[in-house]
Structure 1
Amino acid sequence: MDLNIFDDDFLYDGFQKFGVGGMISAIPHYSSLQYKKNLAIAMMASRGGFSSLDYVKKRFGNTLKINEIELSEPHQIIFEINKYVKQYVNTLSQRIDQIPDKTYPDTFGYLVASVALRRLRTSFKLARFSLFEGFRIESMCIIKLILEQCTWAYSVYNLTNEKVNTIQPSKSINNFKSVYPNIGKIYGEINEVSHLSTSRIRELVDIKDEEIWIKLTSPKDTLHTSLILLLATDIYCITSEIIFKKLLPTVDFINSQNNLPNRNRAFLTDFILFKKRVENLWSDK
């Protein structure tokens, strides 16, 4: 059974307020103009007490003027990265869900590794939501959890019952360096942000007119964090394919011969393109 916190995509993919005549709703940013018109007609019918949507559409449809709301450039990039991450995580999760349970190796290590990986879709949802809201520190804390669970799953999936309990998630990062050499550097950067210290506190406050203002969000820094989420997605997909390789029809992120990352994976090319966009925007801020 999968753990789900949110049922509506707009909660973590970004949403906008939409209202007619005092009635307010929240709709995804990617909603089409036709969808907005249909929703506006339904709102007008409800507020006016009309039982026929066709009547409202014929009478008022031509008078509707709906302004398109554009995202800021940082939010647009984060929005696109969030959709990209969601696509890869959900697609791989669905492929794993289709594997019959009876085909799983009958070992405790494989069982707990499977549970750890399959529940991470919830963590990715929360990470995407935090990113879009500009919550950099909270995003990093969740991404840290994702990396620890991935590397822990990799560390235990081949172990027997007695040895599984000796592996701690926070200590398993080093075990994954042979697969993903940069994971130590990534994890170190995450720790630096997620662990508040005196030097970090200085970055979270502004002093204006002898008053201290606490920064709750950091849109500029969150842009860089979105790249870290992409790397976490890459690590998640690589780990999942290593563990479920024998049960999946095909693998895309790893070389099936040696369980190392596929250097020609499309994800890597897309990451470079996202990175260039973020760096260009960062340099302009």
Structure 2
Amino acid sequence: MSDFSEDESIRTTSKSSDLDDYDILSIINMSAAVPSNSDLEFRKFIWAAMATYAFGNKSIDNVMKRYDYAWQEWKKGAYERDPLILSLRGMFKIINKVSSDLEKTEVENSLSSICAKAALCRLEASFKAAYGLVRKEYIFETDAVAKVILEQLAWAYSAKGLNEEDLLKLKPNKCITKFKEFFPESGTFYGRINKWAHLDPFIVKQYEKFHNEQVSVVRRSHQNSRESGGTIIMLSLVYLNLVQVLFSIYKKDDFQKLFDKLSSFRNSYEEDLKSDL
């Protein structure tokens, strides 16, 4: 009997449409999420709908016409403006493209190649989840997903070319040492992410204090989450390189363009991070 239900099997091979990116529009005490790729006219309509409700009016068209002057000023903030978030968003667009291109690529008919390809394709959702967690400033959750990404990259690298017996014995958290052949800093990265993804003694003491005071807490941090975003962008470069080395899906010039673009997002992120901290 299969270990997976039909729904779970479908989910492991489908795109992360359930993790679509968004921007937040706000007016007075109301907010609405809109797709990040939605155009200005759509945003104006949503803004007008909220204004109509807030003002107790019934006609959205009337509000759009009557308060157009207010929209002209307000629309300057209708899109995400945080440079760190924009760099992560740009990074994910490239990850999404690479994952989609890999998904369309025919690979050799061996279990190790098929599994390595599937492991890399599914990381599209992991990168998107990590980006969303950074945006919401969840620190432990971001680093936990970063750990999964690194382990999955290491597993895909180790899996390619193995026979079926050895492949079935392969465990992601045991592949980091071999992955150093491809990504020498993987050991350092893994150790750091492992530490960040768990409750260290200092934080445990904080939780004890909060518990005794009957205070509910969520571990969030603007600074730490943004630092974790830098880890995610670095891993995106490793992802692109690994896909190309294992499956050669791009011509040299096409690969270089993607690599340069991704590198520019990383460089911008690092510079903006210095200003943000």
Same-fold status (TM-score > 0.5): yes
Post-superposition offset of 1:56: 5.7
CA distance in 1, matches of 2:253, 2:124: 19
CA distance in 2, matches of 1:32, 1:249: 31
Post-superposition offset of 1:78: 3.1
Partner residue of 1:274 out of 259, 269, 272: 269
Deviations 1:154-189 (A, max 9, x none): 101111111102221001011111111111111110
Alignment of 1:115-126 (within 5 A): 115-126=118-129
Post-superposition offset of 1:106: 0.9
* Matched letter for residue 4 of structure 1: S
TM-score (norm 2): 0.77
TM-score (norm 1): 0.75
Alignment of 1:1-285 (within 5 A): 1-4=13-16, 6=18, 8-10=20-22, 15-19=23-27, 25-27=32-34, 34-42=41-49, 48-50=57-59, 53=61, 57-58=64-65, 60-62=66-68, 64-65=70-71, 67=74, 68-69=76-77, 76-99=82-105, 103-202=106-205, 214=217, 216-245=219-248, 248-251=249-252, 265-282=260-277
The size of the alignment, in residue pairs, is 258
* Matched letter for residue 281 of structure 1: D
* Matched letter for residue 182 of structure 1: E
Using a 3 Å threshold, how does the CA distance of structure 1 residues 62 and 199 change in structure 2: closer, same or farther? closer
Using a 3 Å threshold, how does the CA distance of structure 1 residues 267 and 17 change in structure 2: closer, same or farther? closer
Using a 3 Å threshold, how does the CA distance of structure 1 residues 31 and 201 change in structure 2: closer, same or farther? farther
Structure 2 gap ranges (5+)? 1-12
Post-superposition offset of 1:82: 1.9
Contact 2:98-2:240 within 8 A present in 1 as well: yes
Using a 3 Å threshold, how does the CA distance of structure 1 residues 32 and 125 change in structure 2: closer, same or farther? same
Using a 3 Å threshold, how does the CA distance of structure 1 residues 19 and 148 change in structure 2: closer, same or farther? same
Structure 1 gap ranges (5+)? 256-261
Contact 1:205-1:215 within 8 A present in 2 as well: no
CA RMSD of aligned residues (A): 3.6
Contact 1:154-1:176 within 8 A present in 2 as well: yes
Contact 2:138-2:219 within 8 A present in 1 as well: yes
Using a 3 Å threshold, how does the CA distance of structure 1 residues 33 and 203 change in structure 2: closer, same or farther? farther
Matched with 2:7 is none
CA distance in 2, matches of 1:24, 1:275: 31
Post-superposition offset of 1:237: 1.2
Structure number with the higher strand fraction is 1
Deviations 1:201-223 (A, max 9, x none): 3577888xx88674520111112
Contact 1:110-1:158 within 8 A present in 2 as well: yes
- In percent, how many aligned pairs have the same letter? 21
Structure number with the higher helix fraction is 2
Say which SS state the counterpart of residue 119 (structure 1) adopts.
helix
Post-superposition offset of 1:143: 0.8
